[in-house]
Structure 1
Amino acid sequence: MTDGGGAEVHDLATLDARQAAEERRYLEFLRVPAMSAGMYALQAGAADPQQPHAEDELYHIVTGRAVLRIGEKDHPVAAGSVCFVPARVPHRFHSITEDLRVLVVFSPSETPEP
């Protein structure tokens, strides 16, 4: 929801419903030049197909439990974890034991795939 002055406020339940209805693993809900944001969802046991990004990335784990490999190091994550991944560093979630809902922020805005 926008306020007419450029500010936006989003509700996680509404984003979850939209993401489920559109059957999307990643749902971008914000894009300005300096950053973009979206919700990323992976089911327990799923494989994470993402590749390194050209932008810095911040993850906030909203729900779920998994391991996030950044480079060669594994980091257990769960609801409340906040993780920074520098641009171009290989990373992916694995060993997902509880469905993940992740708030993702790219800075600057994520470059769309060709």
Structure 2
Amino acid sequence: MMDHQLFHLDALAAEQDAAGRRYLEFLRTDTMSGGVYTLAAGAEDPQLPHREDELYVVLAGAGVLRVGEAELPVRAGSVAFVAAQAVHRFHDITEDLRVLVLFAPAESDG
């Protein structure tokens, strides 16, 4: 793998939208992975806990991130950390969400 890569969020969003995918992974190394996750206003977030630590950077939209019993209102500019295995999901999405997601180590398949 190269020792650097450059990504443009507008190009990633266009690729994701063209593919019609809720999640688009754009980076994978041994130690981390990154993707863009979208949920429409009013959508239900189907995700389950992950084996990896996760960092969410909200690029656009608004909603609430539930982590365990905590309710975290998020909007463009919010950054949230979720520990591995924590039960979490977005809900009460009032504006279409587009979220940059970083996993460490790289997200596993199961």
TM range (shorter): over 0.9
Gaps of 5+ in 1: none
Q: Within 5 Å, give how 1:1-114 maps onto structure 2.
A: 5-113=2-110
Letter in 1 for 2:33: S
Aligned Cα RMSD in Å? 1.0
C-alpha separation between the residues in 2 aligned to 1:93 and 1:18? Answer: 23
TM-score, normalised on structure 2? 0.97
* Structure 1 residues 34-78: Cα deviation after superposition (integer angstroms, max 9, x where no partner): 100000000000000000000000000000000000011101000
Gaps of 5+ in 2: none
Q: What percent identity do the matched residue pairs reach?
A: 56
CA shift for structure 1 position 112: 1.8
The number of residues matched between the two structures is: 110
C-alpha separation between the residues in 1 aligned to 2:76 and 2:17? Answer: 20
TM-score, normalised on structure 1? 0.94
C-alpha separation between the residues in 2 aligned to 1:12 and 1:73? Answer: 29
CA shift for structure 1 position 26: 0.2
Letter in 1 for 2:21: R
